[in-house]
Amino acid sequence: MGEVKRILVLNLGSTSTKVAVSHSDRMLFTDSINHPADELKGFKTIFEQYDLRKDTILAVLAKHGISLDEIDCIASRGGNSKPIPGGIYPIGDAMIEDMKSGKFGQHPNMCGGIVARDLARERNIPALTVDPPTIDEFCVYARYSGIPQIKRQSSFHALNSKATARKAAARLGKGYEEVNLIVAHLGGGISVSAHLKGKAVDVNNSLDGDGPFAPERAGGLPAGDLVRLCFSGDYTREQVLKLLQGGGGLVAYLGTTSGLEIEKRIAGGDAVAAEVFEALSYQVAKEIGACAAVLEGEVDAIALTGSLAYSERLTGSLRKRISFIAPVLLDPGENEMDALAAGAMRYFNGEEALSVY
């Protein structure tokens, strides 16, 4: 394929456009542009933001003195498409059509995928996505919920979790496909995944009410109590969904999603904050223990990643509860831009072939 000189990396959030350019394994820059609510309120759909997002990306490149003619590949964080195995995928028409249909959910990165495809086509370079959020490598038993009407689904921080797993394997001197790992992504949502020889065979649905509570998500709730709350007449459907996503977890108990603020409260003697933060650790440790059972106790390492992995209080508490299972490795931060660039480099270096969507 020839040597890759520069990779344009895109990651579109609900209120931000993140842009980076890497040269081989080195980031030349990473920039994040925030979009105020007033700027976005006129758009009825994600796809109506196309021109705004494209212009923002081009403006960032111009700001850093880089022309699109210097770019060899565009790597965009994946949007909501059909369930697929992990891997590196070209962003093509079939993927775009599935994202536009909305049947697999909505996320601003779907617009990013379209921008990436169009810019890449203009210059005849690849547009790729790496380990999109809808990857599904579940073992058959992981799909059972307890009633036939509901099937457990794979929905987690796949990009960062897979990248963290690869780095953990490398630290062990092995390949990702040679090891069994547990990866706990500790961010605004928390996902704990069991990786069996290169496949994420089980994980809690961190978006839609499963697993540990998180800074802004409720996690798994007692089903009977949830049903009674839904039919109490005190809440609308939208209010209940808000409790699960965006209004549950740390923000419900303590009024904040900031781990730094909570640790300051604890240092100031706030016993309630200390108890809630320890309860979060307790629930994460339980989920890690469940993944250890999935892997039949054969765990090479447990990796902690995400923004909350910077918290020495949280990681220290987790170590006390889980270190008997396997060595605990720290890889804090979201690391999504680096993971996208690294995936593109694996393709260009011939280390991993493109998957077929």
Residues 208 and 322 in one domain: yes
Residues 119 and 209 in one domain: no
Check whether 118 has a pLDDT greater than 50.
yes
pLDDT level of residue 1 (50, 70, 90 thresholds): very low
Residues 128 and 244 in one domain: no
Q: Could you tell me the pTM of the whole model? A: 0.91
In percent, the amount of the chain with pLDDT more than 90 equals 86
CB atoms within 10 A of CB 339: 25
The answer to whether residue 273 is domain-embedded is yes
Question: What does the pLDDT look like over 175-186, one tens digit per residue?
Answer: 999 999 999 999
DSSP string of 239-294? HHHHHHBTSSTHHHHHS---HHHHHHHHHTT-HHHHHHHHHHHHHHHHHHHHHHHH
| Structure tokens given for 321 | 């509860």
CATH (domain of 237): 3.30.420.40
Residues 179 and 316 in one domain: yes
Can you give the pLDDT at residue 65? Answer: 96
Residues 99 and 233 in one domain: no
Check whether 2 has a pLDDT greater than 70.
no
d(CA 168, CA 152) in angstroms, rounded, equals: 27
CB atoms within 10 A of CB 354: 12
Question: What does the pLDDT look like over 187-206, one tens digit per residue?
Answer: 999 999 999 999 999 999 98
The answer to whether residue 15 is domain-embedded is yes
The answer to whether residue 293 is domain-embedded is yes
Can you give the pLDDT at residue 293? Answer: 98
Residues 181 and 126 in one domain: no
Residues 177 and 321 in one domain: yes
Q: Which domain holds residue 344?
A: 7-135+337-348
Residues 216 and 303 in one domain: yes
CA angle 279, 204, 210 (to 5 degrees): 60
Residues 29 and 117 in one domain: yes
Instruction: Give mean pLDDT, residues 37-62.
Output: 92
d(CA 95, CA 107) in angstroms, rounded, equals: 14
The answer to whether residue 354 is domain-embedded is no
Number of domains, the chain? 2
The answer to whether residue 158 is domain-embedded is no
pLDDT level of residue 133 (50, 70, 90 thresholds): confident
Residues 113 and 225 in one domain: no
pLDDT level of residue 3 (50, 70, 90 thresholds): low
Residues 198 and 320 in one domain: yes
The answer to whether residue 157 is domain-embedded is no
- 334 vs 204: which has the higher pLDDT: 204
| Structure tokens given for 97 | 């059509």
The answer to whether residue 87 is domain-embedded is yes
Can you give the pLDDT at residue 38? Answer: 86
